[in-house]
Amino acid sequence: MNAHHKSMIAVNGLVKVYKGVTVLNIPELNIARGESFGLVGNNGAGKTTLFRMILDLVLPLEGEVLLQNENVRQSENWKQFTGSYLDEGFLIDYLTPNEYFNFIGSLHGLHKAEVAERLRKFSDFFNDEILDKPKYIRDLSKGNQNKVGIAAALLIEPQLLILDEPFANLDPTTQIRLKNLLRELKEKRQLTMLISSHDLNHVTEVCDRIVILNKGQLVDDIRTSADTLKELEAYFAV
Amino acid sequence: MPGKGAPANNPIFCMLNRILSHQWKEATRAAAWQNHLVMNIIMGIVLFFMVLNLGVLGFFLHKILEAAVPGQEVVLTFNKAIIYYLGIDLVLRFFMQQVPVLAVQPYLHLPVKKSKLVHFVLGKSVLSFSNVLPLLVALPFAFQAVLPAYGLLPALAWSAGFISLVLFNNFLNLYLKRQLTLKPVVFLLLAAGLAGLAGLEYQGIFRLSSLTENSFATLLAQPAMWFLLPLLPVVMYTFNYQLLRRNMYLSELESATASVTNVHEFAFLKKLGAAGNLLALEMKLIWRNKRPRSLFISSLFMVAYGGVLIIMKDPQEENVPDSIMLIFAGVLTTGACMLYYGQYLHSWDANYFDTLMTKNISPYQYYHSKFLLFIGMCTIALLLSLGLAILDWRVLPLNFALYLYNIGVNAFVVLLLGVYDAKKIDLTKNAAFSWQGLGVVQYFIMLPLILGPVLLYLPFYMLEQSDLGLTMLAALGITGLVFHKPILKKLAKRLKSRKYKMAAAFRAA
């Protein structure tokens, strides 16, 4: 498989400083195509900042992010193959979930019928709480809003998926369904995933590679194995 | 329940004090405030001079009135003018005065009486500058003219009467604005009623002016009647109180029973690609959210503004477009919708700005959709303004030339200035309590949009080539339309470099 050798994300000399404090400093980070990459770290470690820089929402002081070898600041191409959901700011709250999915689909040239077809795969995940309900997204619970955002990110069948804390606010059943869904996508579609989580259990179950971020620095880069969870717990038990 | 304690540590007093300090923090810690420090200082200086000027005007007003209307007692002249002042004041307030805001939700679960919160919100509006400014003229006038002519008690009664009418206007304006968001039909009826009164006055059928003139004359003759006029603001305050008290939970109730309004998906918009999809989205934004919707409706009223100016013009004057005022009116007639809505260009999208920046949309497509929206808004206004042609057909070339200028030049200026305004607007919450709106700062932003065409037209006017002036404005507009692609591309580039700051401000709010 040639695809494995190709770079999906390349981070070079990325530095971000807020009010004199270096909040992120990553000299080099490469994520290959098809890799499932987990990012763990305490609050303020810089996880969300890194995600935002990958999505060109935060301007780095120095350095660059390449997605499929193209600088995100110079090219718009990454938007076509990247599905992302970081927080509620990625939702349009006065739309119904159906309208939101149709809107996102239309940006990728999908017709209503194609969107509906693709959404069928998520019926378990949605648990009948999302689709065809006369409710605006702003009136949904946090957990259900989360589901809408994740599904919209997956709807476009991305090559790269970026999710910030996807398991937060989800009920236990949905957490398990989401894990199954992500594992299935990884195996069937060679999806590259970038997931952050506070929950060490989830992240070790879904990801092949886990990186620990602490105060903006990469501290450890681990290939997931049977001992990974213990290693991580040992690191965070202070 | 808090009882009646000593005034110093009265719990209600402490609570109000707390809320006031929260409000101060909310204002000074807002990203918009901190980003516009220079702007705030300039505003402060402008306000200072305004206060100074008005005070001086009030001090010498009796001399001015004496010279302007010789042979009539100055106080009587002033009394006659009061009603006209109130009418203009109300219109200005409607478009400029901010409705005081308090996000009540964080206080509702605390031991604070709901009635206190309503009183607080209403009481805060009294402190507005728009209430202080007229008094800067009227009170020195009372001292200089009324006091020497009538004595102390009549002068006090006269002042109390004037203050009452200013407060009445204050609360009437709040009531109108809140009805506009809550029940547009009630608002329309009230506005039609007020316009009707103005019409009757204009036609001389029923003179409201003689009513105020007489009541102030009575005050001067019988100062003991001083308590009658203050009843007006009290009654208006009660109306406001009832309205707010009833609607305190409105936003919460509404979301619980929300019914989804279906907006027709315009097929032709789909043909425009991503820009069309964004345009359809923006139409839903306007239709489904109270703030943009009421802004949109109230800006349509500006179309009537051109009509008012035409009625007020001297019937002897032959050439209508020969007036600079009419250029000003023309810009607003076809452009008010775009200007008002465009002031908050990106603020409307603040909640989901990150979506627009990360989904498959290029900055060019984003701006293209905004541009199409502006063309739509101006076209609606142009069609409405065709009604004005009944009054005077000569407004047609004026309106059409400025329509072209608006979509071909001003639309780009709005996009250009839009990136500097990164204020998050909450579209939904506490709809009855907040109407973050047409503040004075926004008017500074609008100056280049309105003064630009006036300044361009001025040389032609002075050379008595006004038709050529209009043609030139229209030609500029057409040029802008022809070159919209490269212009939008340039603007999109600027958005690309500014978006990080904007996204951060939207997230922080």
Put simply, the answer to whether A90 touches B361 (Cβ < 8 Å) is: no
* Closest-CA distance of chain A to residue B362, Å: 7
Write out the residue range of the structural domain in which residue B5 sits: 1-35
**Residue B258 domain-assigned (yes or no):** no
Domain boundary among B248, B280, B297: B248
Distance CA A222, CA A50 (A): 18
Q: Do B307 and B234 sit in the same domain of this protein?
A: no
Rounded Cα distance, B221 and B161, in Å = 13
Q: What are the structure tokens assigned to B407, written together? A: 């979509």
pLDDT of residue A190: 85
* A9 to chain B, closest Cα gap in Å: 16
Question: Using a CB-CB distance cutoff of 8 angstroms, which residues of chain A are in contact with residue B358?
Answer: 55-57, 79, 82, 84, 90
User: What pLDDT is recorded for position A178?
Assistant: 93
The answer to whether A94 faces chain B, any CB pair under 8 Å, is yes
Domain total in chain B: 3
Alpha helices in B313-408 (DSSP H): 324-342, 353-358, 363-385, 395-405
Residue B99: how many CB atoms within 10 A of its CB? 20
B280 Ramachandran zone, left/alpha/beta (phi>0; psi -120 to 50) = alpha
CA distance A228 to chain B (A): 33
Which residues are CB-neighbours of B390 under 8 A, at least 6 positions away? none
Contact across the interface for A56 and B358, Cβ inside 8 Å: yes
Say if A114 is an interface residue toward chain B (CB within 8 Å): no
Judge whether A112 is closer than 8 Å to chain B, CB to CB. Answer: no
Res B436: pLDDT? 43
Average pLDDT for chain A: 89
Q: Are A82 and A160 in contact (CB under 8 A)?
A: yes
What H or E segment, with its residue span, contains residue A13?
strand A7-18
Instruction: Verify that B45 and B135 share a domain, yes or no.
Output: yes
Tokens for A81, please give them: 């193959």
Distances in whole angstroms, Cα of residue B141 to Cα of each of A24, B160, B167:
64, 13, 18
Task: Say if B470 falls within a structural domain.
Answer: yes
Tell me, yes or no, whether B304 and B391 share the same domain: yes
Residues ≥6 apart with Cβ < 8 Å to B433: B101, B102, B103, B104, B121, B244, B248
User: In order of start, what are the domains of chain A with their CATH numbers?
Assistant: 35-56+77-236 (3.40.50.300)
Do B419 and B294 belong to one domain? yes
Put simply, the answer to whether B255 touches A139 (Cβ < 8 Å) is yes
Strand residue runs (E) in A54-208: 62-67, 70-71, 82-85, 160-164, 192-196
CA-only gyration radius of chain A, Å: 18
Is B281 in the same domain as B210?
no
**Same-domain status, B111 and B29:** no
Give the Cα separation of B146 and A171 in Å (integer): 74
Instruction: Count other Cβ atoms within 10 Å, centred on residue B31.
Output: 17
Helices A97-107, A112-119: crossing angle, 10 deg rounding: 120
* Residue B182 resides in a domain: yes
Gap between the Cα atoms of B249 and B233, Å rounded: 26
Whole-angstrom distance, CA of residue B122 vs CA of residue B244: 9
Task: Return the amino acid letter for B142.
Answer: A
Same domain, B244 and B340: no
On whether both B239 and B292 belong to a single domain, the answer is no
B335 lies in the same domain as B433: yes
* Secondary element (H or E) of residue A40: strand A36-40
DSSP A127: T
Chain B residues close to A106, C-beta within 8 Å: 270, 274, 277
CA distance linking residue A105 with residue A107, whole number of Å: 5
Q: Are B25 and B19 in contact (CB under 8 A)?
A: no
Distances (CA, A) of A91 to A54, A97, B280, B299, B351: 19, 9, 16, 29, 8
Separation of alpha carbons B142 and B440, rounded Å: 29
Is B254 inside any structural domain?
A: no
Q: Is residue B263 part of a domain?
A: no
Distance CA B90, CA B211 (A): 18
Q: Does A187 touch chain B (CB under 8 A)?
A: no
Chain center to CA of B256: 31
**Residues B236-294: tens digit of each pLDDT:** 999 988 888 877 654 433 433 345 555 555 666 767 778 888 888 888 888 888 778 77
Report yes or no: A211 and A40 within 8 Å, Cβ to Cβ: yes
Reported as a single tens digit per residue, the pLDDT across B159-218 is 999 999 999 999 998 888 878 777 777 777 888 888 788 777 777 777 777 878 888 888
Q: Please state, in angstroms and rounded to a whole number, the distance separating the CA atoms of residues B363 and B494.
A: 9
Q: Give the total residue count for chain A.
A: 238
Is A106 near chain B, with CB under 8 Å? Answer: yes
Whether residue B66 is found in the same domain as residue B24: no
Helices (H) then strands (E): counts for chain B: 25, 0
Q: Residues B193, B236: one domain?
A: yes
| Alpha-carbon distance B107 to nearest alpha carbon in chain A (angstroms) | 21
pLDDT at position B198, please? Answer: 77
In three-state secondary structure terms, A24 is strand
For residue B283, the chain A residues in CB contact (below 8 A) are none
Task: Give the N- to C-terminal CA distance of chain A in Å, as an integer.
Answer: 41
CA distance B181 to A206: 49
Contact call for B281 and A108, based on CB within 8 A: no
My answer on whether B284 and B422 are in the same domain is yes
* B293 within a domain of the structure (yes/no): yes
Query: Three-state SS for A221?
Result: strand
Whether B472 is in a domain gets the answer yes
Predicted confidence band of residue A209 (pLDDT cuts 50, 70, 90)? very high
CA of A54 vs chain B CAs: smallest distance (Å): 10
Q: Could you tell me if A29 and A218 are in contact, meaning their C-beta atoms sit under 8 angstroms apart?
A: yes
ipTM of this model? 0.82
Is-contact B327 B402, C-beta < 8 A? yes
Task: Classify residue B255: in a domain, yes or no.
Answer: no
Residue B430 near residue B364 (C-beta atoms within 8 A): no
3-state DSSP: chain A helix, strand, coil percent, rounded to 5? Answer: 40, 25, 35
pLDDT tens, residue order, chain B (509 aa): 344 444 445 666 676 777 777 777 766 766 555 656 666 677 778 778 888 888 888 888 888 888 887 877 888 888 888 888 888 888 878 766 766 666 666 676 677 777 877 888 788 788 777 888 888 889 999 888 888 888 888 888 889 999 999 999 999 988 888 787 777 777 778 888 887 887 777 777 777 778 788 888 888 888 877 778 888 999 999 998 888 887 765 443 343 334 555 555 566 676 777 888 888 888 888 888 877 877 787 777 777 766 666 556 544 455 544 567 778 888 888 888 888 888 788 888 888 899 999 998 899 999 999 999 999 999 988 888 887 666 667 778 888 999 999 999 999 998 888 877 666 666 654 333 333 444 445 566 678 888 888 888 888 888 878 788 889 999 999 999 999 999 999 999 999 988 888 888 888 75
**Tokens standing for B406?**
């608006």
